[in-house]
């Protein structure tokens, strides 16, 4: 987990040295730890807290409401506060910190911090460039359990998983298949190594399998590769060590065009406003849904 360089034990982010007008009190985590965060500071980064929100149908006059965020951890919220007040972004260097970035993306999404969400994706890209770094399927599952179909964060983490995961038989456990992880992984891999699909069949008939003609496995060094033999590897029987020439580039790519930046997974200001739906409800902003869908003059 990413740790903030500032202690959160005091129970409230120390905003007192800053004079930005009235704060909003956030009660964070299961224990409801209090953070007082200035609306004026938030408005510089999130459309949910700006006058543009008024144009979109939000009522931001009631700025003293308490906002409860029980699903956001205190550490993650503290990291966002440090970023907000000090301008200090997280600087992950260890492969296990990818989950921390995913947690931070979810937390930022709840506040509509859309530019920060995009920065977090770039940080994740940079973190996972070393080929020897590994992403665990549990990290992917954590993202899937907190996002829905079509989520850009899902697409981002799956792209990394396919290139930095070390295929194992347990990837096909019912829990992971039920979440759709292997289905989406198969669709990503299909863009690079299309399997021989029978005449008349379509990709939707493929049902997310990765063992139609081409296999996803590990080479002798443990890196993911693809081979064309139908008997070279069988992930479901844990025969994962394979030889082949189907490896993706050592550097991360994000689509079949070989794009090296994950910008296609960036969110817009409007998507950021929608992500702050629960905060909007708690602040009693009226007609936020209609305003967000209509754009409301947001930039």
Give the rounded percent of residues in the chain with a pLDDT score beyond 70: 62
Q: Which two tokens stand for residue 281?
A: 């409800």
Cβ atoms of 65 and 283 within 8 Å: the answer is yes
pLDDT greater at residue 83 or residue 229:
83
pLDDT greater at residue 139 or residue 3:
139
| Model confidence, pTM | 0.75
Please give the domain boundaries of the chain with CATH numbers for all domains.
1-129+271-299 (3.30.710.10), 133-250 (no CATH)
Give the rounded percent of residues in the chain with a pLDDT score beyond 90: 39
Q: Give residue 246's pLDDT band: very low, low, confident or very high (50, 70, 90).
A: low
pLDDT greater at residue 187 or residue 59:
187
Q: Which residues pair with 23 in a beta bridge?
A: 38
Say if residue 203's pLDDT is above 50.
Answer: no
Long-range contacts of 2-7 (CB under 8 A, 24+ apart): 2/75, 2/76, 2/79, 2/90, 2/92, 2/97, 2/100, 2/101, 2/103, 2/104, 3/75, 3/79, 4/75, 4/78, 4/79, 4/81, 4/82, 5/82, 5/88, 6/78, 6/81, 6/82, 6/86
């Amino acid at each position: 987990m990413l740790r903030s360089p500032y202690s959160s034990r005091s129970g409230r982010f120390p905003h007192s040295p800053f004079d930005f007008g009235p704060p909003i009190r956030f009660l964070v985590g299961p224990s409801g730890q209090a953070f007082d965060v200035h609306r004026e500071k938030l408005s510089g980064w999130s459309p949910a807290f700006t006058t543009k929100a008024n144009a979109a149908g939000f009522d931001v006059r009631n700025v003293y409401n308490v906002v409860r965020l029980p699903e956001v951890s205190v550490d993650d919220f503290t990291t966002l506060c440090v970023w907000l007040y000090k301008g200090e972004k997280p600087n992950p260097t260890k492969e296990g910190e990818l989950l921390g970035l995913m947690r931070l993306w979810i937390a930022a999404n709840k506040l509509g911090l859309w530019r920060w969400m995009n920065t977090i994706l770039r940080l994740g890209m940079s973190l996972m460039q070393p080929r020897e770094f590994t992403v665990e399927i549990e990290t992917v599952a954590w993202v899937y359990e907190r996002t829905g179909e079509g989520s850009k964060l899902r697409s981002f983490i799956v792209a990394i998983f396919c290139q930095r995961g070390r295929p194992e038989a347990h990837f096909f456990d019912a829990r992971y298949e039920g979440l759709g992880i292997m289905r989406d992984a198969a669709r990503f891999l299909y863009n690079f190594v299309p399997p021989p699909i029978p005449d008349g069949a379509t990709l939707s008939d493929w049902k997310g399998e990765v063992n139609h003609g081409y296999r996803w496995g590990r080479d002798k060094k443990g890196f993911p590769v693809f081979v064309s033999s139908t008997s070279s590897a069988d992930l479901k029987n844990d025969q994962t060590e394979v030889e082949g020439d189907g490896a993706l580039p050592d550097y991360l790519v994000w689509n079949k065009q070989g794009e090296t930046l994950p910008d296609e997974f960036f969110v817009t200001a409007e998507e950021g406003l929608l992500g702050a739906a629960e905060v909007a409800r708690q602040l009693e902003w009226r007609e936020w849904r209609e305003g967000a869908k209509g754009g409301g003059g947001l930039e």
